[in-house]
Amino acid sequence: MDINQLRGWADLWDKIMIISITVTAVAVTVTGATAWLSIKYNNALRVQENVASDQYKVQITDHAATLEKEVALAKERTAELEKTVVEADERAALAKKLAVESEKMVADANARAEEARQALERSKVPPANASRQNSQIATSVARSAGAKAAIYILDEAPDAAEAGSSINAILTEAGWASSIWTWTGVSGIVGVVVLTKEGDDAATDQAASAIVDAFRSAGFNAAKANWPADWHRYRGTLSGPQTPGPTEAPIRIVIGGKAR
């Protein structure tokens, strides 16, 4: 092998060496760039992961706070509902108590009403010995037979008409001449008032006194008095028979409220 061939081989090896070095350098450069890019990517990925993690933690914290707030509101509403239920139970108990008391009051009122009704019925029913009492009264005033009396029944007194009819029957049985008039426009008279004109004769006065005593013994609230004004003058209006006149009789029997 001559010198020229050796030089050719040497040049070839030099070129191969240079190429090899160049390739090696490029490979090292590429490897370094790849490593750098990998590092940069990993750093960026870690930063992104940290940001995402922080955001997730913030969201979790906010969500937990929201849940705690909702739980607190739910507890408050539950407490309010429990309080409302307790108050409703108390109101129901009170309403039940009031209902029981109302029923008792209604029962008591009905009982009192029934007692009042029975008492009213009893007061309307004449006693068993009413005829006997009337006869006794008639007998006690019979000595004044032929006397005249005008019976004035106050229109405003609800029980005066019944008492007036009873008194008129007694006087008629005793032989008295009596008539009934309804007196309107007058009030305030209580019981049975037997009235005479001041200065009348003794027989009229005795007859009036006998009537009062007889009425009292029969349970009437009777009293005797003098007519307080002119015998022919009176207030209000008298409705009854035209004959005899309401001012002709020497004795007037005025029947007001609560005659018995």
Q: What is the pLDDT of residue 182?
A: 93
Q: How much is the mean pLDDT over the chain?
A: 80
- Taking 70 as the pLDDT cut, the residues of the chain under it are 1-2, 6, 102, 109, 113, 115-146
Q: What is the pLDDT of residue 254?
A: 93
Q: What is the pLDDT of residue 21?
A: 85
d(CA 239, CA 186): 13
Q: What is the pTM of this model?
A: 0.48
* Position 67, amino acid: L
DSSP string over 217-255: HTT--EEEEE-SS-TT--SSEEES-SSS-TT-SSEEEEE
Q: What is the pLDDT of residue 137?
A: 54
Q: Where are the domains of the chain?
A: 1-125, 130-255
d(CA 138, CA 75): 92
Of the candidates 50, 30, 32, the residue with the CA atom closest to the CA atom of residue 42: 50
Q: What is the pLDDT of residue 128?
A: 41
